């Protein structure tokens, strides 16, 4: 269990990749530049969110395919792909292809559940089969099986001049060990452990009883490891919103604190029918944030993180935040840049 004198082993960041719908290319280019910049700073991983019918990255696998050709070392992840929007076999093909193009650096994070606002998109997404689709864990299990090389059909061999495989092609050796499940409940943590995937936990959890955010997240991490074959060595990545201000301008500091202040009320009690609990955003000097993280019960249980960048900031803000994380906050947590 990492204590203040034990180093953070892996440091990553997460971005949503917003763009202007009137001219979407610059926003995508900004995301790619941020990922390359993160590699230059020594970050171990860069992660992208997934947004459908919004002005954020709708095709993270395609974006990471591009990122794989502009970088050479940094690991590239999705946090997360909701598999309810996907065909598991086709997604497995895309993931394997990008993993091979990246040289084995892809870290796909996925989640179960029906597509958001299914009642509004069902006619566009599953016009004839929405009522028969399985949006639960079995859909994710199918994806994992295809990635692991399980048979997809009972036919293989030659038909005329065409050669067919009974397994998803290409097969990316090692990709299965880099699959992640994004969860926020005890049930999802247990499922991830039992199904031998890594576990992504973020700044959102489902309220369970009267426990606070840190206590719930800590319990989920321990539940995951208790049910994973690797036990305490099973990989968990935590993703809180962290905004260091070491080199920020006065204008940036004001904007960052206003952003956190506006979002703070939602951390006071469970939100919505799903009873979601949100962690407060951590804004301040790196030494202050490091102290708060070292006191955070769930952070003390992990040795890798992917700090989330705020959704609505400018490119220059992300450059400043990432620079401060890599040069000040990371070292204060015992992390060393990758080379």
Q: What is the pLDDT of residues 115-140, one digit of tens each?
A: 999 999 999 999 999 999 999 999 99
Average pLDDT over residues 69-87: 98
Q: For the chain, how long is the longest CA-to-CA vector?
A: 70
User: Is 339 among the domain residues?
Assistant: no
Predicted local distance difference test score (pLDDT) of residue 5: 61
pLDDT in tens, 44-66: 999 999 999 999 999 999 999 99
Q: Which residues pair with 49 in a beta bridge?
A: none
User: Is 46 among the domain residues?
Assistant: yes
User: Is 337 among the domain residues?
Assistant: no
User: Is 5 among the domain residues?
Assistant: no
Tokens 């992640």 belong to: 180
Tokens 């034990």 belong to: 6
The residue range of the domain holding 201 is 10-152+164-332
Does residue 164 carry a pLDDT above 90? yes
User: Is 3 among the domain residues?
Assistant: no
**Per residue in 171-202, is it b (16+ CB within 10 Å) or e — as a string?**
bbeebbebbbbbbbbbebbbbbbeebbbbbbb
User: Is 338 among the domain residues?
Assistant: no
> In whole angstroms, what is the distance from residue 115 CA to residue 326 CA?
35
> In whole angstroms, what is the distance from residue 82 CA to residue 50 CA?
8
Tokens 């905004």 belong to: 243
User: Is 159 among the domain residues?
Assistant: no
User: Is 157 among the domain residues?
Assistant: no
Tokens 């979002």 belong to: 263
- When divided into structural domains, the chain yields a total of 1
Whether the CB-CB separation of 67 and 32 falls below 8 Å is answered with: yes
Q: Which residues pair with 284 in a beta bridge?
A: 244
Tokens 């029918």 belong to: 273
Q: What is the mean pLDDT of the chain?
A: 96
Q: At 240, list the tokens.
A: 């809180």
E-strand spans in 126-227?
Answer: 157-159, 162-164, 180-182, 198-202, 204-206
Predicted local distance difference test score (pLDDT) of residue 339: 81
DSSP 3-state assignment of 129? Answer: coil
pTM: 0.96
Pairing of strands 276-278, 204-206: antiparallel
Q: Domain holding 138: CATH number?
A: 3.20.20.30
**Other CB atoms within 10 Å distance of the CB of residue 40:** 13
Does residue 2 carry a pLDDT above 60? no
Does residue 14 carry a pLDDT above 70? yes
pLDDT in tens, 283-308: 999 999 999 999 999 999 999 999 99
List Cβ neighbours of 162 (8 Å cut-off, separation of 6 or more): none
Does residue 4 carry a pLDDT above 60? no
Average pLDDT over residues 17-30: 97
């Amino acid at each position: 269990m990492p204590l203040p004198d034990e180093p953070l082993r892996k440091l990553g960041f997460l971005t949503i990749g917003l763009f202007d719908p009137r001219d979407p290319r610059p926003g995508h280019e900004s995301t790619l530049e941020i990922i390359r910049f993160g590699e230059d700073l020594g970050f171990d991983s860069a992660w992208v969110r997934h947004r459908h019918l919004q002005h954020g990255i709708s095709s993270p696998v395609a974006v990471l395919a591009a990122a794989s050709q502009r970088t050479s070392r940094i690991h590239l992840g999705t946090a997360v792909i909701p598999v309810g929007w996907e065909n598991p076999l086709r997604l497995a093909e895309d993931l394997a292809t990008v993993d091979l193009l990246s040289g084995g650096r892809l870290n796909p994070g996925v989640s179960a559940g029906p597509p958001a606002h299914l009642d509004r998109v069902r006619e566009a997404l599953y016009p004839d089969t929405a009522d028969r689709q399985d949006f639960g864990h079995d859909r994710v299990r199918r994806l994992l099986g295809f990635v692991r090389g399980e048979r997809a059909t009972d036919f293989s061999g030659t038909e005329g001049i065409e050669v067919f495989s009974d397994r998803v092609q290409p097969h990316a050796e090692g990709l299965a060990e880099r699959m992640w499940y994004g969860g926020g409940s005890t049930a999802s943590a247990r499922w991830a452990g039992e199904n031998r995937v890594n576990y992504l936990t973020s700044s959102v959890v489902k309220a369970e009883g009267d426990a606070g955010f840190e206590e719930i997240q800590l319990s989920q991490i321990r539940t995951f490891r208790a049910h994973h074959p690797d036990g305490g060595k099973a990989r968990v990545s935590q993703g809180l919103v962290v905004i260091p201000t070491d080199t920020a301008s006065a204008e940036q500091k004001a904007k960052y604190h206003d952003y956190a202040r506006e979002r703070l009320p939602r951390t006071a009690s469970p939100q919505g029918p799903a009873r979601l609990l949100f962690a407060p955003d951590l804004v301040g000097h790196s030494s202050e944030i490091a102290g708060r993280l070292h006191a955070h019960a769930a952070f003390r249980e992990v040795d890798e993180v992917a700090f989330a960048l705020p959704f609505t900031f400018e490119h220059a803000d992300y450059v400043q935040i990432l620079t401060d994380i890599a040069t000040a906050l990371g070292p204060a947590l015992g992390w060393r840049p990758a080379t």
